[in-house]
Amino acid sequence: MKVLVAGGAGYIGSVTTEMLCDAGHEVSVFDNLERGHRAAIDPRAQFIQGDLRRPETIEAALKESGAEAVIHFAAYIEVGESMRDPLPFFENNVSGSLNLMKAMVAAGCKKLIFSSTCATYGTPEKMPMDETLPQKPESVYGESKLLCEKIFQWAEQIHGVECVFLRYFNACGATEKYGEDHSPETHLIPLILQVPLGQREKIFIFGDDYDTPDGTCIRDYIHIRDLAQAHILALKPGISGAFNLGNGDGYSVKEVIDVAREVTGHPIPADLEPRRAGDCTRLISDSAKAREILGWKPEYADLRSIVESAWNWHQSHPAGYGDRSE
């Protein structure tokens, strides 16, 4: 299939592009490189530089690529940033997505796979979390993703664009070539690994007074290879709707640090900090729907192998990808 990957120079987009190319798809990456890296784009894919906030650039990219489907990763992603400076999140995530859908309708492109998030649910009313839970986001970031889902639902109903919403839990891990290089980095696993890399002295644990066995927050860590595979499965005609993507296993912050100590052989000192605003106690996915309808089966579910894959990548890329445009 001819697939356009918006945000394909970013963390999850880079690995999805790599796996789409491996599977024989014809891939074009559309990215403004504001937060991604030129070096993260698989050389088998065509690169079209453009910005979703500039509609003419996405219109031209759809024409040039002849895309039959779009996988849409392009967004601002950081919850904390969204609560300090909200409006750019609506501009980039919501207006950008609206421009993309308008261009798709105009170009007659009938399939969209959208990166959504478990942050659209807010504090969940049951655990594990399935897709029937009410969506009550507690951050601007989560709200921006929910607004996109709503726009896309109406576009599906009225214009017949098949839309799939993949609601990820905590994305992590790496392939041999592509890994995580956010700046600033806020995610737990890459921050922990900066300690054995000699780039930070210790890791801070944000609160140990949560209602969990060791007092630290519990998350469902999912390998980006498994996330990428779900996107490829969702390309199949006839698939639409929302799917939660996680392993269904919860690990506490302390457990993740312990696994990283085992994997790296480094003591990784940890200190306690107060709770980080907006963190939920526990987020664990019920991904039965993805397994049943997409035929999705996570293959890298073991936290040790996830952390190992990230550790291998960071050791071979201690400064990440370097310059964004090279």
Ligand X SMILES: O=c1ccn([C@@H]2O[C@H](COP(=O)(O)OP(=O)(O)O[C@H]3O[C@H](CO)[C@@H](O)[C@H](O)[C@H]3O)[C@@H](O)[C@H]2O)c(=O)[nH]1
Ligand Y SMILES: NC(=O)c1ccc[n+]([C@@H]2O[C@H](COP(=O)([O-])OP(=O)(O)OC[C@H]3O[C@@H](n4cnc5c(N)ncnc54)[C@H](O)[C@@H]3O)[C@@H](O)[C@H]2O)c1
Please provide residue 95's backbone torsions phi and psi, each rounded to the nearest 5 degrees.
-60, -40
Among ligand X, ligand Y, none, what binds residue 135 when CB lies within 5 to 8 Å by partner kind?
none
Amino acid in the structure at residue 117: T
Q: What residues form DSSP beta bridges with 116?
A: 167
Q: Which stretch binds ligand X (CB under 6 A): 81-89, 103-111, 112-120, 288-296?
A: 112-120
Separation CA 131–CA 210 (nearest Å): 25
Please provide residue 167's backbone torsions phi and psi, each rounded to the nearest 5 degrees.
-95, 100
Our finding on whether 53 is near ligand Y (CB under 6 A) is: yes
Instruction: Please state whether 38 falls in left (phi above 0), alpha (psi between -120 and 50) or beta.
Output: alpha
Our finding on whether 115 is near ligand Y (CB under 6 A) is: yes
Tell me if 172 sits within 8 A of 224, measured CB to CB.
yes
Among ligand X, ligand Y, none, what binds residue 51 when CB lies within 5 to 8 Å by partner kind?
ligand Y
What would the x/- binding string for ligand X be over residues 13 to 52, using CB under 6 A? ----------------------------------------
Burial of 175 (0-12, 13-18, 19+ CB in 10 A): middle
Catalytic annotation on 141?
Answer: yes
Tell me which of 117, 229, 240, 244 binds ligand X, using CB under 6 A: 117
Q: Which stretch binds ligand Y (CB under 6 A): 151-159, 167-175, 257-265, 306-314?
A: 167-175
Tell me if 5 sits within 8 A of 30, measured CB to CB.
yes
Our finding on whether 133 is near ligand X (CB under 6 A) is: no
Our finding on whether 170 is near ligand Y (CB under 6 A) is: yes
Our finding on whether 261 is near ligand X (CB under 6 A) is: no
Q: Which stretch binds ligand Y (CB under 6 A): 31-39, 123-131, 252-260, 295-303?
A: 31-39
Separation CA 218–CA 210 (nearest Å): 9
What residue ranges bind ligand Y (CB under 6 A)? 7, 9-13, 31-36, 51-53, 73-75, 77, 92, 96, 115, 117, 168, 170-171, 182
